[in-house]
Amino acid sequence: MDKIKHKSHIEAIEEILGIYPILKDFLINERKVGYEDHSQYIRWINNQKILLEECLRKLKENYSYASIFPVIREIYENFWFINLAMNGTKHYKYFKAKKGHDINKIYKKWKNDLETAHKNGDLNDILEIHIGGRIRITYKGNRMNVDGKPTNEFIPDYYFLLENYDPIEAYVGKEKRIIEKYLTPPHLFHRFILPNKNLNRDYFEFQHGIIPHLLLNNLITKKQRQRIIIHYNFLSLLAHPNQIAFREAENNFNFTGNKNENLYMDRLVLLYIGNLTKMLLDSFFKFLIRQEQEKKISSPNKNKLKEINDKIKKFEDCTNYFWFIYNKPSTFYKYDYAINKIWRKQIIQKNIKKMTLPEINDNDVPYYNNPLESLKRMNQGWTNGLLGEYKPELKWE
């Protein structure tokens, strides 16, 4: 990798990675009481930091992209789970009717019972009931009890799910006749294997478990859902066998075995490392707000927070040309959209008025479907009579 051409990005990323060791300092309180979930969150986040640093080191040392992107995909998926484990205070539970029972009758009875309970001020942690192929009930976290009395402290269900979920049973156990599973008596199959299959489908599968719970907790919007899936699919593309992944691997090295320089791939790896580092920090500081409200931690030091925010802003200023998950489309994406919009209008009308980029609403700009191609196109300068000139925002230092 040409470190000079990516100097500002590397420096900004290393600065925000340097924030991680002090995160535990924010989880203190006047009572000097420690919480097990706090320690677990720090361990999970630090594990991701180690992987992010490893990706950065491999990139600097010219390792193959094929050795980096699968790890980035792992961190990407882990982030959304950790975010839910810290901030997903609502969760779904699913129920299906036993054979011979009418699910619609059960749903109507449960719905009426819940409405009655809410009127009487009971079952307030059960928020909603919905019917589809199964009955889906929305719960508010896991309320903590002290001396048998409920408190205002909640721990998200996703925190406990990791302990309850056995991926071996969920995946290997899917086929009854795999390995020794055909010897498993039916009552044990339903007691141990089937619940893990259901946990995997309802909570751990990315599009059917993770995404719905992110939406439920307002951790993402529907538009952001689309962006998340595009990056998930792109990273999966480079992590699984297919012609594009094989072609990229072949182009990665020349016939002498030396790595071919690819500025765009290097920059894309840096953007993923930096944005994932930043999003983990953002989710942690969102978690701190709830912990302070629940009086589980003392008010964070404002000077430390400002110092951290300054480092995060430095990274944002350096990389805001790249439209990721939570930020807004930069000039390139607006310009690209405007050109296409003008072209479509020219087909059916003449004398189109001059358009300025500030007139374009961020919500109208469509998201790209390939991050790598988006970076390549961004590097081109354009001139348009109605829009003026676009100067590339992508810089090679």
Domain ranges of the chain: 7-87+220-319, 90-216, 331-390
pLDDT in tens, 7-33: 999 999 999 999 999 999 999 887 767
Burial of 77 (C-beta count, 10 Å sphere; 0-12/13-18/19+): middle
3 state SS of 308: helix
Rounded-to-integer distance, Cα 391 and Cα 383, Å:
9
- pLDDT band per the 50, 70, 90 thresholds, residue 351: low
The continuous run of DSSP H or E covering 371 comes out as: helix 371-378
- Please check the confidence at residue 192 and state whether its pLDDT lies above 50: no
CB 45 within 8 A of CB 305: no
Mean pLDDT of 195-213: 85
Rounded-to-integer distance, Cα 299 and Cα 285, Å:
12
Q: Which residues contact 361 (CB under 8 A, 6 or more apart)?
A: none
Strand blocks (E) in the chain: 90-95, 126-131, 135-140, 142-146, 149-155, 382-384, 388-390
- pLDDT band per the 50, 70, 90 thresholds, residue 255: low
**92-101, 156-165, 178-187, 378-387: least confident range:** 178-187
The CA-based diameter of the chain, rounded to the nearest angstrom, is 77
- Please check the confidence at residue 335 and state whether its pLDDT lies above 90: no
> Which residue from 308, 270, 272 is spatially nearest to 397, judged by alpha carbons?
270
Determine what percent of the chain is predicted with pLDDT higher than 70: 85
Which residue's structure tokens are 């600097």?
Answer: 60
- Please check the confidence at residue 346 and state whether its pLDDT lies above 60: no
- Please check the confidence at residue 332 and state whether its pLDDT lies above 80: yes
- pLDDT band per the 50, 70, 90 thresholds, residue 174: very low
pLDDT in tens, 257-276: 667 778 999 999 999 999 99
**29-43, 175-189, 238-252, 374-388: least confident range:** 175-189
**The pair of three-digit structure tokens given for residue 276, joined into one six-digit string:** 């994932």
- pLDDT band per the 50, 70, 90 thresholds, residue 187: very low
Which residue's structure tokens are 């480079």?
Answer: 238
Rounded-to-integer distance, Cα 12 and Cα 338, Å:
31
**The pair of three-digit structure tokens given for residue 367, joined into one six-digit string:** 């998201």
Rounded-to-integer distance, Cα 274 and Cα 12, Å:
8
Helical spans, DSSP H, in 166-251: 167-171, 186-188, 194-199, 211-216, 222-237, 243-251
3 state SS of 201: helix
- pLDDT band per the 50, 70, 90 thresholds, residue 161: confident
**142-156, 208-222, 295-309: least confident range:** 142-156
> Which residue from 3, 6, 1 is spatially nearest to 271, judged by alpha carbons?
6
**Stronger pLDDT, 371 or 168, i.e. the higher one:** 371
Name the pTM for this structure. 0.88
- pLDDT band per the 50, 70, 90 thresholds, residue 6: very high
C-alpha separations of 59 from 10, 136, 235 in Å? 11, 45, 16
- Please check the confidence at residue 133 and state whether its pLDDT lies above 80: yes
**Ranked by mean pLDDT, which of 124-128, 169-173, 227-231 comes out on top?**
227-231
Burial of 218 (C-beta count, 10 Å sphere; 0-12/13-18/19+): exposed
> Which residue from 381, 356, 115 is spatially nearest to 394, judged by alpha carbons?
381
pLDDT in tens, 66-80: 889 999 999 999 999
Please give the mean pLDDT across all residues of the chain: 85
Which residue's structure tokens are 């765009």?
Answer: 264
Rounded-to-integer distance, Cα 38 and Cα 43, Å:
9
